[in-house]
């Protein structure tokens, strides 16, 4: 779907992460969503995991779209504040003067995170609340529309080839209109929250119904509208999906289809090694001839160990992890790289011990021709 691929592309084209960020621990979900981590525990890898393994990428798409909506609202208010500072003719009215005082009181509009409402420094929370209050107080310039008309307009937007996205950098004139904010809120509503929508997500209690009522009846489009749903989705991903993501990406480097293939290859190789070994013993072949058994035993034990630990130790030692079938990425998160190296050495040791035991047993046992 074009809509899902746009968020996937946005997750993959994350801004550069400062190299000074060094953790002696696994990252948190908040750090991943805020693009403060490197592969294989970055936002792009988490998106792939949610899409291919967890099968619940709609929750992550909802979270990313709400974060984008927040960014859109910040950009809109920041542009209004900038226009107030340079001076405009509209400031002659009393209402415009009051708005200019509110905008001026917001102070610096820079932000260090786009995470859940319950995270972040207090100053950023206060500015987010001020942005929402300002947008609620400003009258919407769009002409009144019925619920059916708004849904038809949103359906038209969603059926387009690529969704309309406005960020701080992709608008040539850096201009965001109030109707863009309204369209963004309606797109989130009609995509994820309405019963029967194409990508409906399940929320606790009446969260979805409350948001629907606020948008359609009270004409709200401020970002604070989605705070409860955003925090609920964050907690759901943190509880249900993120632990599995860390196990798959920080303690292993293989994906499920590859693991199944390695299980099959390992069992076939081990069966071939046992069959060949017993045949050579009962044919009373020399120990030198039986040394060829090392090859199938090594392949079988190595592939079965890879399946058991979800880890290819040689690939991990080289510094690569599997993202999708036949697609690999470098391991750039320092702490994860250390974990995988330690686990790889342990897996190689187990593989060598088991392989050596089997080879010695089948090579040195006396032959007996039947």
Q: Give the separation between CA 217 and CA 158, rounded to whole angstroms.
A: 22
The predicted model scores a pTM of 0.80
In the structure encoding, which two tokens stand for residue 50, read together? 């949610």
pLDDT digits (tens, 9 = 90+) for 261-315: 999 999 999 999 999 999 999 998 898 999 999 999 999 999 999 999 999 999 9
Query: Residue 193: beta bridge partners?
Result: none
Report helix, strand or coil for 312.
coil
What is the end-to-end Cα distance of the chain in Å, rounded? Answer: 64
CB–CB of 189/154 below 8 Å?
A: yes
- What is the average per-residue pLDDT within 181-210? 93
Contact residues for 49 (Cβ-Cβ < 8 A; gap 6+): 241, 244, 245, 248, 249
CA 155 to chain centre: 26
- What is the average per-residue pLDDT within 248-252? 96
In the structure encoding, which two tokens stand for residue 172, read together? 């040539």
pLDDT digits (tens, 9 = 90+) for 304-346: 999 999 999 999 999 999 999 989 999 999 999 999 999 999 9
CA 209 to chain centre: 27
| Phi, psi dihedrals of residue 142, rounded to the nearest 5° | -70, 150
* DSSP codes joined into one string, 119-164: SS-HHHHHHHHHHHHHHHHSPP-SPP--HHHHHHHHHHHHTSSS--
């Amino acid at each position: 779907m074009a809509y899902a691929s746009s968020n996937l592309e946005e997750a993959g084209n994350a801004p550069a992460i400062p190299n000074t960020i060094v953790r002696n621990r696994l990252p948190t979900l908040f750090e991943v969503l805020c693009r403060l981590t490197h592969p294989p525990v970055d936002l792009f890898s988490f998106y792939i995991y949610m899409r291919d393994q967890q099968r619940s990428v709609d929750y992550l798409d909802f979270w990313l779209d709400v974060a984008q909506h927040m960014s859109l609202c910040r950009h809109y208010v920041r542009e209004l504040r900038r226009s107030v500072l340079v001076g405009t003719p509209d400031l002659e009215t009393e209402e415009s003067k009051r708005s200019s005082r509110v905008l001026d009181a917001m102070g610096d509009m820079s932000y260090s995170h786009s995470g859940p409402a319950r995270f972040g420094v207090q100053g950023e929370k206060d500015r987010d609340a001020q942005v929402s209050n300002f947008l609620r107080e400003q009258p919407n310039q769009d002409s009144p529309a019925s619920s059916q008309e708004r849904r038809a307009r949103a359906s038209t937007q969603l059926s387009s080839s690529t969704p309309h996205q406005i960020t701080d950098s992709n608008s040539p004139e850096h201009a965001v209109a109030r109707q863009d904010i309204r369209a963004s809120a309606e797109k989130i509503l009609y995509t994820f929250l309405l019963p029967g929508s194409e990508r409906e997500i399940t929320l606790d209690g009446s969260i979805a119904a409350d948001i629907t009522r606020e948008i359609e009846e009270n004409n709200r489009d401020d970002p604070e509208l989605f705070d409860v749903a955003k925090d609920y989705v964050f907690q759901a991903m943190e509880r249900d999906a993120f632990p599995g993501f860390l196990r798959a990406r920080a303690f292993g480097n293989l994906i499920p289809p590859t693991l199944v293939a390695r299980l099959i290859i390992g069992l076939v190789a081990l069966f071939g090694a046992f069959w060949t070994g017993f045949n050579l013993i009962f044919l009373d072949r020399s120990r030198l001839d039986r040394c060829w058994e090392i090859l199938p035993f090594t392949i079988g034990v190595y592939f079965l160990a890879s399946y058991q630990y979800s880890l290819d130790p040689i690939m991990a030692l080289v510094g690569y992890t599997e993202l999708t079938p036949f697609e690999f990425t470098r391991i750039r998160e320092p702490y994860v790289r250390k974990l995988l190296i330690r686990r790889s050495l342990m897996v190689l040791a187990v593989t060598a011990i088991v392989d050596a035991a089997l080879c010695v047993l089948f090579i040195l046992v006396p032959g007996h021709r039947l």
